């Protein structure tokens, strides 16, 4: 089998006016299919930046990222976004649902954009799986935080991506909802055999992953 995800000597700088900050320094990382990994580290250490790079939402200043045998650092933004749409599901701390779309429409949109048949029906099946069968028509503002995150997860996994990126997926939730969200994510990963890269401050959640990677000052420890 080939390379699932490989980062080779990645450097990322942010430029603010005249100042540049080296956010990620000489990152080497190799993640296999079906692996579950958590990134832990202090605030500002570069965890979100690393997730953005892996998801192709940010480009490194130097180094290579290889995803499923393809060097994505060579590709155009459009090409990267095509790959992301089909293969990578991203879950953020703040759920980023579309405010004027209902729960079902938020999930259906992803399916529609990927030319699925019956996107609304498929969306409802997914939401039902996450205990939201009586919330299809609620707008995000009419859902609790835990419910919004479940909609966001349903949307992220709608395409059955082989890689899930989750940045503090339980960061805005209470303990009870955090446990539920963690269960949903790990159950999906196990059932579908996908890989997971998750950032979390929650040690219990971090420990659920097979591999824990500590990031300090933009470097892997």
Ligand X SMILES: Nc1ncnc2c1ncn2[C@@H]1O[C@H](COP(=O)(O)OP(=O)(O)OP(=O)(O)O)[C@@H](O)[C@H]1O
Q: Binding ligand X by CB under 6 A: which of 36, 38, 48, 200?
A: 48
State the residues that interact with Mg ion by CB under 5 A. 48
Q: Binding ligand X by CB under 6 A: which of 21, 98, 113, 203?
A: 21
Q: Binding ligand X by CB under 6 A: which of 27, 37, 47, 149?
A: 47
Q: Does 55 bind ligand X (CB under 6 A)?
A: no
Q: Find which of ligand X, Mg ion, none residue 115 binds, CB within 5 to 8 Å per kind.
A: none
Q: Find which of Mg ion, ligand X, none residue 55 binds, CB within 5 to 8 Å per kind.
A: none
Residue ranges of alpha helices (H) inside 32-174 are 47-54, 77-87, 103-113, 119-129, 145-157
φ/ψ of 145, rounded to 5, equals -60, -45
Q: Does 45 bind ligand X (CB under 6 A)?
A: yes
State which H helix or E strand residue 23 sits in: strand 19-31
Q: Find which of Mg ion, ligand X, none residue 43 binds, CB within 5 to 8 Å per kind.
A: ligand X
Q: Does 46 bind ligand X (CB under 6 A)?
A: yes
**Close Cβ partners of 208 (under 8 Å, ≥ 6 residues apart):** 36, 38, 182, 186
Distances (CA, A) of 64 to 23, 70, 101, 161: 16, 10, 37, 22
Residue 58 structure tokens: 């940010």
Residues near ligand X (CB under 6 A): 14, 16, 21, 23, 41, 43-49
């Amino acid at each position: 089998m080939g390379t699932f995800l490989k980062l080779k000597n990645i450097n990322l700088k942010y430029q603010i006016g005249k100042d540049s900050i080296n956010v990620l320094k000489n990152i080497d990382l190799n993640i296999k299919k079906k692996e579950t990994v958590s990134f832990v580290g202090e605030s500002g250490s570069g965890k979100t930046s690393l997730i953005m790079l892996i998801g192709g939402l940010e480009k490194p200043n130097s180094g290579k990222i290889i995803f499923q045998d393809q060097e994505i650092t060579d590709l155009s933004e459009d090409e990267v976004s095509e790959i992301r749409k089909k293969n990578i599901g991203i879950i953020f701390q703040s759920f980023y649902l579309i405010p004027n779309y209902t729960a079902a429409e938020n999930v259906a949109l992803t399916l529609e954009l990927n030319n699925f048949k019956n996107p609304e029906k498929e969306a409802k099946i997914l939401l039902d799986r996450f205990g939201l069968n009586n919330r299809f028509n609620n707008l995000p503002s009419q859902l609790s935080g835990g419910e919004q995150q479940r909609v966001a997860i349903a949307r992220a996994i709608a395409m059955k991506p082989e890689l899930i990126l989750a940045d503090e997926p339980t960061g805005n939730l209470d303990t009870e909802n955090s446990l539920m969200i963690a269960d949903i994510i790990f159950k999906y990963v196990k059932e579908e055999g996908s890989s997971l890269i998750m950032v979390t401050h929650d040690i219990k959640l971090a420990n659920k992953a097979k591999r824990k990677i500590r990031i300090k000052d933009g470097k892997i420890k």
